Amino acid sequence: MSIFRRFTLSRWMLNARFVCIWSIVALSLTGIRPASAQTPIVDSLRTVLETVSPDSARSSVLKLLLWELRTIDPVQAILYGREAQQLVEKENNLRKRSEIHRFLGVAYRNAGDFVKATEQVYKSLTIDEQRGDSVEMAHSLNTLGRIMLLQNNVSEAAVYINRATVIAEHINDEALLAFCLFTLADLHYTRHEYALALATAIKVVTIRKRRGEDVYVADVYLAMAKALTTMTRYDEARGYITQALAIYERKQIPYNIAVGNNAMATLLLTLKQPSEAAHYASAALQYATTIGAKVLEKEAALLLSECYSGESNFQAALEMHKRHKALSDTIFSERSAKQNALLNIEYETKNKEQQIRVFEQERRFNALLVIVVGIVMTMLIAAVFWLVRRYRRESKGTQHLQARTETLANSNDALRLAQMELEENHQKLSDALRQIQVRNEELQDLNEEKSMIFGMVSHDLKNPIVAIQGLAEMMNTENFTEEQYKEFSGVILGTSKRMYELVKNFLDVARAEEGRLKMSFIQFDIAEVVELVLDNYRTQAAQKNIAIHYRKPTSPVQVCVDESMIMQILDNLISNALKYTPVGKSVSVTAEVVDVVRHNKALVGADMDNLDDAAFVQCVRISITDEGPGLTDMDKNKLFQKFARLSAQPTGGESSTGLGLAITKRLVELMNGRVWCESEYGYGARFTVEFPAVQG
């Protein structure tokens, strides 16, 4: 490969730069100032930490270090946060405990561990709800929404972000509302609702200007520039970046100046102006190197490499690319070392907790054993004294002694019977408790499913309605060009389609589970139906540059099933294949008649080698194969379940209710068919539907 081709500027790399800048701006609007701008503060806090006491004061210093380092060095921040958590457990300060959980969640999020990030922020939200602190609740909800966005869980993110926004509006807290609206703008951008994202960002600018927060205004300008660039409104985007840079330079914030220069360089590269872009990338590199911001330095080096490549200065481009690679390796090595330290601390903490639990159990058991032995010894001594006294009274005659012996034997038998009855009753009680526990678990599952349905209906319908309402108000009160009206109407149409699909899926599930589906079995050529459904999706496939290959049989493939249900099954499977197939890949569909062994026919030993024609039956088999990410073993266990959330995410920002495959399986089984999936993680998936063929 030539040097020229190695460094040729590609559009997707530029888009990746804008995504990086958007993330940095989003973090700064939540109160985060990354890189070395806070290094003096961190150094001062570390000096205080060496001598501070008691534990309450040390936990406060650790909390501040956790906050200051959450983006500069998230792994080190987690180490401080874990120590702070251990100390704050001894204090009766719920607010501090909540803040440490939320700050730890942000650090885990920045370190890429979204599971632990979600767990920590949920704990913070639980404490905030117990305290009734609306402001902290909104901050926790907003943080959860951003974590969900980073995992591309758009529907769940919308629930948390909208709840946080409603709280901020209700308590009339402008600063909190600005944070929530900025995250809401990010949500609109993720949904490709660029006009809504821009309008929401403008509201944030209005609030920040009114509060005199110039640096936050500059941060939002960079976010607006990203949305405008996506909408190809380059001149407006350049104007906002210029304004942001002017504010940063006036305030003398080196880190933000580097971010702004990187943003301008990325925009100019998009406009094919490498020489001017190199000026801004060089400035960003100088600022980042001065303050030790390695992430920004790495970004600027890559941009300069692309600028020099655009100027045909391939030697300089190669040098900058090497610098970018060296910085990447350095950052990765530092993070790996600190990540190993964190894992060691977690391992030691778990071991200590386990030892404490074992010691506590042994202590309780020993205490209980002492009590039981004492009771038994007391009873034995009392029984011995009682028997001795009775023996003395009755020792005068042998008959009395024999009678007493028989009495004791009878009493012993009665005690054994009573003990057996007690054990039997205890067993019955244990069985009853197990049944109650099983029933409680079933009720809990049903309750969780009900809550999930209500939550999805209320929030997944509320958000599109709010979006449509906002666009309608803008179209009714402001003057726009004809192109803008077309763009807004397209957003309204897409939003209403998502609402229709959601309601339709819920109704299909309800009808299938209640047995209210009416089926009309007719004989038809299923190959023609497959081609008809594929024609409906060719436009959508073309938008993602996905090729659809259909190997249509040369002769009719007859089945006797419900035609409308077949179309719904094919619609679900084909739309899923397009949803999870990356841009530029392909989807393959086949329809054929195959011979399969009759169901429920047991074959053992030599039967496998002596199959006759009667052992087989003809079936119609339809297969849809995609080139998506494939399914993990965990995904396969949850496949065809309602509300299942799989690891794979849609490649074009499409939404998913988790009901499509569950509906498909139910409809196939109602028509005496079967459906299954074959997939190896990383190599796509093949979904196959099989129905009995019409004989003769």
CB within 8 Å of 124: residues ≥ 6 apart: 98, 99, 101, 102, 105, 136, 140, 143
d(CA 29, CA 493): 32
The per-residue pLDDT for 24 is 43
Within this chain, domains 397-516 and 521-692 share the same CATH topology: no
Nearest 5 degrees, angle CA 187-CA 508-CA 628? 50
Q: What is the pLDDT of residue 10?
A: 40
Contact 220, 205 (CB under 8 A): yes
pLDDT tens string 92-123: 888 888 998 999 998 888 777 889 999 999 99
Question: What is the sign of the dihedral through the CA atoms of 84, 86, 89 and 91?
Answer: negative
Q: How high is the pLDDT of residue 74? A: 81
Phi/psi class of residue 584: alpha, beta or left (left: φ > 0; alpha: ψ in -120 to 50)? left
CB 118 within 8 A of CB 125: no
Q: Where are the alpha helices (DSSP H) in 546-638?
A: 563-580, 633-638
State the pLDDT at residue 122: 92
Instruction: Calculate the alpha carbon distances from 58 to 69, 87, 120 in Å.
Output: 16, 8, 21
Instruction: Please tell me the predicted confidence (pLDDT) of residue 606.
Output: 54
State residue 544 phi and psi, 5-degree precision.
-100, 10
Cα(530)–Cα(587) distance, rounded to whole angstroms? 14
The answer to whether the beta carbons of residues 550 and 644 sit under 8 Å apart is: no
Of the candidates 327, 325, 321, 322, the one whose C-alpha atom is nearest the C-alpha of residue 9 is 321
Q: What is the pLDDT of residue 391?
A: 64
For residue 444, what are the CA distances in angstroms to 347, 437, 441, 605, 643? Answer: 33, 10, 5, 47, 16
DSSP element (H, E) containing 663: helix 660-670
CATH top-level class for 397-516?
mainly alpha
Query: Structure pTM?
Result: 0.45
pLDDT, averaged per 10 consecutive residues of the chain (696 residues), comes to 36 41 44 45 83 83 86 82 87 87 89 88 91 91 91 90 92 90 90 90 92 90 90 92 93 88 93 92 90 83 92 90 87 62 57 60 74 80 76 64 74 83 84 82 64 54 67 76 78 71 62 67 91 87 91 89 88 89 93 78 55 75 92 84 72 66 86 91 92 80
Q: Which tens digits make up the pLDDT trace of 580-636?
A: 899 999 999 999 998 887 655 555 555 555 566 666 788 999 999 999 888 888 888
Fold of 521-692: Heat Shock Protein 90 (3.30.565)
What residues does each domain of the chain span?
Answer: 397-516, 521-692
